[in-house]
Structure 1
Amino acid sequence: MKKICIWLSILCIMIFLVGCSEKPNNNTQNPAVETESGTKDTPNSDSSVENEGETDDEVDGEEGQVNHPEKQPENGETAESSDLATIYSIALEAIMPVDDALNEDMTYIAINGGTLVDATDEDMQTILSYFNKYNVEVKNTSFKELEEEGLVQEGNYIEGILLEIDDVESKTDDKVVLNVSKFRSGLGAIGIKATIIKEEAGWKLESTEETWIS
């Protein structure tokens, strides 16, 4: 009986020792688990890099929109109106210093708006305002209207000067050639050809050429 008890005791001790010897094996799996965990962390890092890449793409996309703005709506009427006021002002101004004896003692400047083709009321006001620098009355009127006002003396003399655009000889997007006249009397009038060009800074007078005189 004692022998049986001894053997049972030995058996229990052996079972205990075997159980203890298996615990390190379980612990050896922990690094593997950590390794797997570390492996899992690596894709997460890659994922964050990918997200950063996506963010960069979005920023590039926004920058692309800034660098390539959509075409602005055209407003041809406004641009044309502004151009006409400028062109006509330059052309009419171009004849002022030509035969300036006609300007002596002038009491007004009359501009025949009926000869300014396609000019709007706003254009006309801009042109009239431009000539205010001569410090005389500036008005939109024709020779006939001056006659009706009793401002034409001896049949063909006025105390001011009358400016007209006789015709637009040619016109492109960047060059306009006009014939302009200045009248003081039947024996005091002159005509020029004014060439106006468009440069980066805007419209400017390129040249003038005297075409007739009376």
Structure 2
Amino acid sequence: MTLKRVQAVVCLLGLGLVIAGCGAGKTAEPAAEAAAPPGQSESPPQPNTEEAAGEDAETTPSDGKQEMRGSAGELYRLAFEAMFPMDEALNSDIKYIALDLSDLQQLTDADRRHILESFAFREVEVRDTTMEELKKEEPEFKETMVLQGVLLKIEKVELGEDYAVIEGSKYRSGTGAIGAKITLELKDEAWSVAKSEMTWIS
């Protein structure tokens, strides 16, 4: 083999090694991420747990009067509400409405709240108290016999299977008080006032 041919072969071998080395040193391009199928997002949306929890916890507001249907709280609430407008002159310039619930031992805490809250819209203080307690709070009562508010009290209850007759009193002063008689009926598991009347006046 002549010298020129040897040199040519050597050059070709060297060129091949250079090309191979260049190809081996070249890093492969990262494969493109597979596209998501049409109509499907790459990652499914996660449920809003706070919103879902809020929807689960949400309840329909309860109607207080609906819950108290047929209860003792509803019965006495209606009786007190029927008594209060009687002889409206006694309500003039009152600072509070006092309801004496002390003798109504069968009332639950929910019954008491229901009765007291029924007078809340009248824009004066509503209290669960007795005449004796009011006398202690108002020292001038001993001389004037006049309360700063009005006191409603249940004194007698006749209870039948589907009716009730409640007698009570409304007191403002020694010469400003009345007796009341409220007849109620139970129909469709709910109490309603059938008749209300004054029985005495002082």
What TM-score, normalized by structure 2, do the two folds share? 0.62
Query: Are the equivalent residues in 2 in contact too, given 1:88–1:116 (CA < 8 A)?
Result: no
Bigger relative CO (Cα 8 Å, ≥ 6 apart): 2
Structure 1 residue 167 corresponds to structure 2 residue 156: yes
1:167/1:151 Cα in 2 relative to 1: closer, same or farther (>3 Å)? Answer: farther
Query: Are the equivalent residues in 1 in contact too, given 2:70–2:191 (CA < 8 A)?
Result: no
* Partner SS state of residue 115, structure 1: coil
RMSD: 2.0
1:201/1:133 Cα in 2 relative to 1: closer, same or farther (>3 Å)? Answer: farther
Structure 1 residue 204 corresponds to structure 2 residue 187: no
Task: Show structure 1 runs of 4+ deviating over 4 A.
Answer: 79-82
Q: Distance between the aligned counterparts of 1:201 and 1:118, measured in 2? A: 19
- Tell me the equivalent position of 1:30: none
Q: Distance between the aligned counterparts of 1:167 and 1:189, measured in 2? A: 17
**Deviation string for 1:26-54 (max 9, x for gaps)?**
xxxxxxxxxxxxxxxxxxxxxxxxxxxxx
Identity %: 39
Q: Distance between the aligned counterparts of 2:120 and 2:126, measured in 1? A: 6
Q: Distance between the aligned counterparts of 1:192 and 1:183, measured in 2? A: 11
Structure 1 residue 147 corresponds to structure 2 residue 119: no
Query: Are the equivalent residues in 2 in contact too, given 1:110–1:139 (CA < 8 A)?
Result: yes
Query: Are the equivalent residues in 1 in contact too, given 2:79–2:166 (CA < 8 A)?
Result: yes
Query: Are the equivalent residues in 2 in contact too, given 1:182–1:190 (CA < 8 A)?
Result: yes
Q: Distance between the aligned counterparts of 2:85 and 2:168, measured in 1? A: 13
- Tell me the equivalent position of 1:158: 147
1:81/1:201 Cα in 2 relative to 1: closer, same or farther (>3 Å)? Answer: closer
Query: Are the equivalent residues in 2 in contact too, given 1:158–1:184 (CA < 8 A)?
Result: yes
Q: Distance between the aligned counterparts of 1:197 and 1:177, measured in 2? A: 9
Structure 1 residue 100 corresponds to structure 2 residue 59: no
- Tell me the equivalent position of 1:180: 168
**Deviation string for 1:105-161 (max 9, x for gaps)?**
111001111132411222111111111121110010001001122265225211100
Task: Map 1:1-214 onto structure 2 (within 5 A).
Answer: 83-150=71-138, 153=141, 154-168=143-157, 170-200=158-188, 202-214=190-202
Q: Distance between the aligned counterparts of 1:103 and 1:145, measured in 2? A: 20
Q: Which has the larger radius of gyration?
A: 1
Q: Distance between the aligned counterparts of 2:174 and 2:103, measured in 1? A: 19
Structure 2: runs of 5 or more not aligned: 1-66
